[in-house]
Amino acid sequence: MEIAEEMIEEHTLVNYQLSVLEKESVENETWDAKFSLLKEELDHQLEEAEEDFLSMANK
């Protein structure tokens, strides 16, 4: 259950970051930094999910 709660929390964070980017102009000087944060979070989520699901599958 802990894994599911963490995934929901991370998914909520990504949705928030996406909503912030949608409201920003690409010309805004902070857009690239915000996009980088979103990319890092998505990469982290994918790696973590892969590890968790592989571990569960191996059991």
pLDDT confidence of residue 56: 76
Domain positions in the chain are 2-58
CA distance 37 to 18: 10
Mean pLDDT of 45-53: 84
Question: In percent, how much of the chain has pLDDT > 90?
Answer: 51
Asked whether the predicted pLDDT for residue 1 surpasses 70, the reply is no
Which ranges constitute the DSSP H helices of 1-59? 2-23, 31-58
The DSSP symbol for 29 reads: T
